[in-house]
Amino acid sequence: MSTTFKKRNILLWLLAISFITPIITLFFLSFSKNWRFPAILPQQFTFENWSYLFFSGGNIAPSFLISLVIALSVALFATLLGFITSKYIAYHKYRKKLLMLTYFPFALSPVIFALCLKYYFIKMSLTGNVQGIILAQLIIAFPYSVIFFTGFWNQRIKQYEDLVSTLGGTTSYAFRKIVMPIAKSLILVCFFQCFLISWFEFGLTSIIGYGKVETLTIKVYQFITEANIFYAALSCCLLILPPVILLWFNKKFIIQQAK
Amino acid sequence: MSKQKPIHIISFLLLFVFAILPLILGFGFALAYSFGLIGGLNQGFTLDNWSALFENNDVVISFLYSGWLAIASLTLSVVISMAIAIFFHKKFSKGIYSYLVYMPLAFPSIVAAFFFAQFLGNSGILSRICYQLGIIDNIQSFPNLVNDQYSFGIIVAQFFLSLPFFTLLYTGLYQTERIDDYTQLANSLGAKNRQSIFRISIPILLKKSFPNIVMYFIFKIGAYEVPLLLGRSTPETVSVLAVRKLQKFNLYDIPQGYAVAVIYTIIILSLLMLVLKTNKNEYDI
């Protein structure tokens, strides 16, 4: 076996280790207790942390549910509204200008954007509640969805729609029978992406939620500031699980289907 | 004049309400507050808040620091993911590596920051391994790799978060741009491997990914969670500085916080306009 081949294999192994070490470490920590220096492995492995999640008043399970409700709502609204709006932009004579405007809110730091908008959210009584957070996250996820779908509305789709109307089909018929089947997997991908934008969000949620709406990311931050690394690791595991499943699903089915 | 379809009016309203209006309202509010036109303690138009902001170099340092962190982590990500695309593109197109590369994408910034604090910290995993190997003899001997003066922890965490994005981008580009065909052609005409990498593969990949690199730079300048958990109190990144000025107890700092937000918005929107205008391709993501 040549030296170059061996070196390449070592590099690949290093990369693989760097990709999986974080997940393994967090899972280990979530099942641990007493991890004193200089022991590499924790002195005690226990299910206590996880049972606290399900049976005691740990507030982690409610945080998981709140995060899930917020992320699903944001993903649903952003995907639906983005799909509708993107068509308008894609065929508009000022397509480039409108698209540029759509990019602006998406490119700004969510936490700074939230600080600038907080006043209006206070006036509308939308701080410290789930509705306010959904609306605030939509301001980030909606532009993403619009940008995502604008590429879909190309000349080919327009020609299909024109063909249906030439043959006597209605707009809704063209939408149901032509556009939707083609757009199906893209809609699913956009839904996943918007779900992840919301699921990962911390800065904007902490500003608009005032810390009263305890999503999982807020919970992780609380545990970190309390130096409770085992509960923080547990919350991290809960945060990572849905994206891992979604990304696997995305890779396994949608990308392969698209190919 | 043709009559607008209801769906067009709804679409425009959606775009206005969810994208354009928040930007106008947010920027307008920050601008007015920074010039003393609104706000509880403000008493009419004044430039005092802006001059107070620039009395020390904190803001300039903060912007330069954010830019430096973004450039450092991006350079690492671009170089390594490009090397992966050039040398291992087949491994990363299918099989186990094509799945593993997605793993860091499942990490929210706050989780990545927490992991690297546990991994690189003084009592972290790396420090414990070094102790067991006899490289260090106590906890203090381990160098500060988080909350450190070189921002090593922040750069590594941001590199970890951006590596999969660029790896997927470059392995994809390697195939769509048919770089393999070009390098084979160059090799058959007498070019050495090194020449085909530096004269063909890297220039094509860099040119095609340039808008993505600048876009990522724009996003990274506004990074919040990683610098908040792995950074020091000085210097601060722009987001951390703005939050400190706007959320903490000194009410006289609030107009300055909004001035920071105004400067940040102007810089980011100008950069974005520059990228979008120079990018002749579509703006699709």
CB-CB under 8 Å, A142 with B108? no
> Do residue B40 and residue B64 come from a single domain?
no
pLDDT of residue B185: 92
The answer to the question of residue B53 being in a domain is no
**Percent of residues, chain A, with pLDDT higher than 70:** 93
> Do residue B26 and residue B164 come from a single domain?
no
pLDDT of residue B101: 87
Choice between B109 and B53, residue whose per-residue pLDDT is larger: B109
Mean pLDDT score of chain B: 90
The answer to the question of residue B272 being in a domain is yes
Q: Which domains does chain A have, with CATH numbers?
A: 1-45 (no CATH), 59-256 (1.10.3720.10)
Band of residue B1 on the pLDDT scale cut at 50, 70, 90? very low
> Do residue B38 and residue B89 come from a single domain?
no
The answer to the question of residue B50 being in a domain is no
pLDDT winner (highest mean) among A65-74, B46-55, B184-193: A65-74
> Do residue B194 and residue B249 come from a single domain?
yes
CB-CB under 8 Å, B97 with A16? yes
**Percent of residues, chain B, with pLDDT higher than 70:** 96
**Distance (Å) from the C-alpha of residue B203 to the closest C-alpha of chain A?**
23
The answer to the question of residue B262 being in a domain is yes
> Do residue B41 and residue B139 come from a single domain?
no
> Do residue B71 and residue B38 come from a single domain?
no
> Do residue B1 and residue B95 come from a single domain?
no
> Do residue B166 and residue B215 come from a single domain?
yes
pLDDT in tens, B86-140: 999 888 877 888 888 888 889 999 999 999 999 999 999 999 999 999 999 888 8
pLDDT of residue B259: 94
> Which residues in chain A (200-239) have CB-CB distances under 8 A to chain B?
200, 202-203, 207, 217, 220-221, 224, 229, 232-233, 236, 239
The answer to the question of residue B132 being in a domain is yes
**Distance (Å) from the C-alpha of residue A223 to the closest C-alpha of chain B?**
10
pLDDT of residue B5: 78
**Number of domains chain B contains:** 2
Band of residue A85 on the pLDDT scale cut at 50, 70, 90? very high
pLDDT of residue A258: 52
Question: What's the distance, Cα to Cα, between the start and end of chain B in Å?
Answer: 35
Q: What is the ipTM of this complex?
A: 0.90
Whether B53 shows a pLDDT value over 70: the answer reads: yes
pLDDT of residue B281: 55
> Which residues in chain A (84-143) have CB-CB distances under 8 A to chain B?
84-85, 87-89, 96, 98-105, 107-113, 115-117, 119-120, 138-139, 142-143
H, E, C per residue of chain A: CCHHHHHHHHHHHHHHHHHHHHHHHHHHHHCEECCCCCCCCCCEECCHHHHHHHHCCCCHHHHHHHHHHHHHHHHHHHHHHHHHHHHHHHCCCCHHHHHHHHHHHHHCCHHHHHHHHHHHHHHCCCCCCHHHHHHHHHHHHHHHHHHHHHCCCCHHHHHHHHHHHHCCCCHHHHHHHHHHHHHHHHHHHHHHHHHHHHHHCCHHHHHHHCCCCCCHHHHHHHHHHCCCHHHHHHHHHHHHHHHHHHHHHHHHHHHHHHC
pLDDT in tens, B208-236: 999 889 999 999 999 999 999 999 988 99
The answer to the question of residue B1 being in a domain is yes
The answer to the question of residue B7 being in a domain is yes
> Do residue B108 and residue B236 come from a single domain?
yes
> Do residue B30 and residue B95 come from a single domain?
no
CB-CB under 8 Å, B111 with A240? yes
pLDDT in tens, B102-117: 888 899 999 999 999 9
> Do residue B101 and residue B17 come from a single domain?
no
pLDDT of residue B280: 60
pLDDT of residue B24: 95
Whether B283 shows a pLDDT value over 90: the answer reads: no
pLDDT of residue B34: 92
How many residues comprise chain B? 285
pLDDT of residue B285: 46
CATH code where residue B71 lies = 1.10.3720.10
Full residue range of the structural domain in which residue B32 is found: 1-45
pLDDT in tens, A190-237: 999 999 999 999 999 999 998 889 999 999 999 999 988 999 999 999
The answer to the question of residue B110 being in a domain is yes
Q: What is the pTM of this model?
A: 0.91
* Average pLDDT of the residues in A140-165: 91
> Do residue B228 and residue B192 come from a single domain?
yes
Spatial separation of the C-alpha atoms in residues A132 and A255, rounded to whole Å: 34
